[in-house]
Amino acid sequence: MGEYLVEAKNLCKYFQVDRHHTLKAVDGVNIAIRKGETLGLVGESGCGKTTCGRTLLRLYEATSGEILFDGKDISKLHGKELMQFKHRAQMVFQDPYSSLDPRMTIGEIIAEGMDVHVKLSGKERQQRIAELLAAVGLTEQFASRFAHELSGGQRQRVGIARALAVDPDFIVCDEPISALDVSIQAQIVNLLIRLQRERGLTYLFISHDLSMVKHISDRVGVMYLGSMVEMASSKEIFSHPKHPYTQALMAAIPEVDFDGEGKKTIERLQGEVPSPINPPAGCRFAARCKYATDICRQEMPKLVELEPDHFVACHHCDVCGK
């Protein structure tokens, strides 16, 4: 097992809505990502996965908790060291339409980060832009175009090239494919996998599309209402989900593989995700969980290693894990 590149311990991010209401977007999450691996983060909308990704990159200041990047606490970084961190950790955004400045050419967008971190001559700069475009499967002629002339998939490639421009080690991919069409999704996922192989990148892949997450990730973490409920290798979590929420999620995926008999009838998860503003004490999932007992409503379960490298946060793993 390789060493950890990114480690978050007991990470919390609260937003103050008004004097009496706190939105606990991320509440006591532990994440550890090894060098060169992909950690998938899944969960329904509002579960805090995007906030989690942004906090890890210091786009938001964490309310409490510690974030270690390559062994250094990033909340204490200043000046040069902070620039060094920004140089090594990047992000690919969800919306290919709002993530590119409509008034800049593609070349300018890609060069933006480069200009901050390295000094290049005009010619070298041009060459580097062409290299980056080629790396994401676009031709040099795109450099002089504007974002609105590109299709969604092409824009997302530019977003990836912009992140790659500063030669990062770690990239947070925040729903990079959810705004794209199916056939284009496959292009982007293939590209991400190829780049990882070529450059030894480490990804945090945030998505609500379970089958894509399973496909691209080595390990998967499942979030529910600001806390991590289960984390295991992607194979393990999809074949033997232990937490009742993970099980419900898996059951809800409409499977494409057509087995001939058509429509499945599976027990559906009832109810909806409660509001993360002032959430109840105890297990966040208790209100929708069929295994819930009194202890679930009073005490928040801790994430424990049930099997090697399989972490679950549930009071009743012995019953529902079967």
Partner 1 sequence: MENKEKILEVENLCVSFHTYAGEVKAVRNVNFHVNRGETLAFVGESGCGKTATSKAIMRLWNPPFVEIKDCSSMKYNGEEIMDMDKKRLQALRGNEISMIFQDPMTSLNPTMTVGKQIMEGLMLHRHLNKEEARKEALNMLRMVKIPDPEKNLDAYPHQLSGGMRQRVMIAIALACEPSILIADEPTTALDVTIQAQILDLLSNLKKEMNTAIILVTHDLGVIANFADRVQVMYAGQIVERGTTQEIFTEAKHPYTWALLSSVPALAKENKQELYALKGTPPDLLLPLNHCPFAARCEYCMQICKEQNPMETELTGTHKVSCWLQHPDAPKVESFYDRRKK
Partner 2 sequence: MQTIPKDKFTIVGVEPDSADIIARPPINYWKDAWRRFKQNKIAVIALIVLLLLVFMCIFAPIFSPYEYETIDKEARNVGPCAAHWFGTDKLGRDMFTRVWIGGRVSIIIGIAGALISMTVGCIYGGIAAYFGGIVDNIMMRIVEVLIAVPYLIVVILMSVVLEDSNIGTLLLAMTITGWCGTARFVRSEMLRIKNEEYTLAAQLLGVSPWKIVTRHFIPNTMGIIIVNITFSIPGYIFSEAFLSYMGLGIQPPGTSWGALASAAQSQFTFYPYLLFFPVLMIALTMLCFTLIGDGLRDALDPKARK
Q: Which position among 68, 77, 120, 186 is part of the footprint of partner 1 (CB under 8 A)?
A: 186
Cβ distance to partner 1 smaller for residue 127 or 275: 275
Residue of 8, 109, 216, 320 that binds partner 1 (CB under 8 A): 216
DSSP states of 9-37:
EEEEEEEE-SSS-EEEEEEEEEEEEETT-
CB distance 51 to 13 below 8 Å: yes
Q: How far is the CB of 100 from partner 2 (least distance, A)?
A: 6
| C-alpha closest to that of 212 among 236, 239, 193 | 193
Q: Is 198 in the site for partner 1 (CB under 8 A)?
A: no
**Residue 134 is a binding residue for partner 1 (CB under 8 A):** no
Cα 137 to its chain centre, rounded Å, is: 23
**Which of helix, strand or coil describes residue 231?**
strand
Cβ closest to partner 1, residue 55 vs residue 185: 185
Place of tokens 């290919």: 96
Task: Figure out which of the listed residues 251, 281, 295, 319 binds partner 1, where binding follows CB under 8 A.
Answer: 251
Sketch the per residue contact string, 73 through 112, with partner 2: x for CB under 8 A, - otherwise.
Answer: ---------xx--xx-xxx-xxx--xxxxxxx----x--x
321: which 2 tokens? Answer: 């894990």
Please state the three-class secondary structure of 251-279 as a single string: HHCCCCCCCCCCCCCCCCCCCCCCCCECC
Number of H helices, E strands in the chain: 11, 12
Site for partner 2 in 140-199 (CB under 8 A): 141-142, 144-146, 148-150, 154, 159, 162, 165-166
- Residue 216 neighbours by CB under 8 Å, 6+ apart: 38, 40, 189, 192, 193, 203, 205
Alpha-carbon separation of residue 77 from 12, 54, 84, 94, 171 (angstroms): 19, 16, 9, 27, 19
Is residue 116 a contact residue for partner 2 (CB under 8 A)? Answer: yes
Give the one entry of partner 1, partner 2, none that residue 44 binds, where binding means its C-beta sits below a cut-off of 5 to 8 angstroms depending on kind. Answer: partner 1
CA distances from 71 to 13, 31, 34, 39, 211 (A): 21, 14, 12, 18, 32
Contact with partner 1 (CB under 8 A) among 18, 256, 308, 322: 256
Which segment (6-14, 124-132, 248-256, 309-317) binds partner 1 by CB under 8 A? 248-256
* Residue ranges that bind partner 2, judged by CB under 8 A: 54, 57, 59, 82-83, 86-87, 89-91, 93-95, 98-104, 109, 112-113, 116-117, 137-139, 141-142, 144-146, 148-150, 154, 159, 162, 165-166
* Residue ranges that bind partner 1, judged by CB under 8 A: 44-45, 151, 153-154, 181-187, 189-190, 193, 208, 210-212, 214-218, 234-235, 238, 248-249, 251-258, 260, 262-264, 266, 268-270, 272-273
